[in-house]
């Protein structure tokens, strides 16, 4: 999986609690992404980063924040988890600066908010 590690792989939490998901890459690529996958919606972009401390919102960013203090780590935080945030979360990297480069995805984090 192109040196991408997501942790945890599975998480069960309660409504109202904060949750942080971690994406770690070993290749020092600039571009990193967080997507969520839901049946009937495909993949939707939450946030992305184009460098250390350079992040921007995606299509479904409400209720999520991100941080990238090191090139290799991109953290996704749910400030106060809700049941609507139950989903599978995927991190992806883009090896080059060209937007036509293919993405490499991690194995995903299954998050359940009860």
Partner 1 sequence: AQSVAQPEDQVNVAEGNPLTVKCTYSVSGNPYLFWYVQYPNRGLQFLLKYITGDNLVKGSYGFEAEFNKSQTSFHLKKPSALVSDSALYFCAVRDLRGSQGNLIFGKGTKLSVKP
Give the interface with partner 1 as residue ranges (CB under 8 A): 1, 4, 31, 33, 35, 40-45, 48, 50, 56, 58, 90, 92, 99-100, 102-108
The DSSP output letter for 13 is E
CB of 65 to partner 1, least distance (A): 18
Nearer to partner 1, 33 or 74 (CB): 33
Task: Quickly list DSSP for 59-101.
Answer: TT-TTEEEEEEETTEEEEEESS--GGG-EEEEEEEESSSSTTS
CB of 74 to partner 1, least distance (A): 15
Nearer to partner 1, 63 or 95 (CB): 95
Q: In what order do the strands lie in the sheet with 19-25?
A: 4-7, 19-25, 73-78, 64-70
Nearer to partner 1, 45 or 52 (CB): 45
CB of 26 to partner 1, least distance (A): 16
């Amino acid at each position: 999986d192109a040196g991408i590690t997501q942790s945890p792989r599975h998480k069960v939490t309660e409504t109202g609690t904060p949750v942080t998901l971690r994406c770690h890459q070993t290749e020092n690529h600039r571009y990193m992404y967080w997507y969520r996958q839901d049946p009937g919606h495909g993949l939707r972009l939450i946030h992305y980063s184009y460098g250390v401390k350079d992040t921007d919102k995606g299509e479904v960013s409400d209720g999520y924040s991100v941080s990238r203090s090191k090139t290799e780590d991109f953290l996704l935080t749910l400030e106060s988890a809700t049941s609507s945030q139950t989903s599978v979360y995927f991190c992806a990297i883009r090896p080059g600066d060209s937007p036509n480069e293919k993405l490499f995805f991690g194995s995903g984090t299954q998050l359940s908010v009860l």
